[in-house]
Amino acid sequence: MSLRLGDIVPNFQADTTAGHLDFYEFLGDSWGILFSHPADYTPVCTTELGFTAKLNDEFAKRNVKVLAVSVDGIDSHHGWKKDIEETQLCNVNFPIIADENRTVATLYDMIHPNASEKATVRSLFIIGPDKKLKLSITYPASTGRNFNEVLRVVDSLQLTAQYQVATPANWNHGEDVIVVPAVSTEDAIAKFPKGVKVVKPYLRYTPQPNVEG
């Protein structure tokens, strides 16, 4: 199936390096990140899993649970996990799914035949507590993913889910945000007491509402 933004993502059960799990139960009321890898013992993915492990505290602060998936088996995963921890100087404390039958890869449309007939492409999905898809992005095998960008997107998604704002290009946590067009300038002034800067009738900035100061 092809998942689109706003779709409820499919549930699944799988064996992982942390034991057997049900995806929905694993997520609970948290946000989730599911990201795939073509195979174990691949160099780019080794660096990606290592960097993700180092961001454990950042994901925890945002109530985000991380889950990786590869088409190799559990024994291979455990061996690869040791390599990741040795070479990337980290503790891989999130589950890695064994997807030998490509069940998860098929559910989440991770097989792109023109790129590879067998291996999963390197897709990443951000899923909300409502189990709806909030973001999907797919990288080629040669380009490592930017997980600082993933954190930035999570910050934006969580902020904009709570307030009637959007985030401009290159926005980072703590910077000014944009008032959405559905809110009139009069209502925006009342809604955002830190102030509203009107550049154009459709382009209005306000300080990030959930930051002190």
pLDDT digits (tens, 9 = 90+) for 113-134: 544 444 556 799 999 999 999 9
Distance CA(57)–CA(41), nearest Å, equals 25
My answer on whether 117 and 170 are in the same domain is no
My answer on whether 50 and 131 are in the same domain is yes
My answer on whether 20 and 110 are in the same domain is yes
- Tell which residue, 94, 95, 8, has the closest CA to residue 58: 94
Segment 79-98, tens digit of pLDDT? 999 999 999 999 999 999 99
What phi, psi does 212 have (nearest 5°)?
A: -70, 150
My answer on whether 122 and 177 are in the same domain is no
My answer on whether 138 and 168 are in the same domain is no
CA 27 to chain centre: 13
My answer on whether 97 and 169 are in the same domain is no
Specify if 150 maps to a domain. no
My answer on whether 167 and 200 are in the same domain is yes
Active site (catalytic) residues: 45
β-strands 177-179, 96-98 pairing: unpaired
**Dihedral-angle region of residue 195 (phi above 0 means left; psi in -120 to 50 means alpha; beta otherwise):** left
Segment 169-193, tens digit of pLDDT? 999 999 999 999 999 999 999 999 9
Specify if 156 maps to a domain. no
Q: How many CA atoms lie within 13 A of 29 on its CB side?
A: 0
Expressed as residue numbers, the domain containing 174 is: 163-206
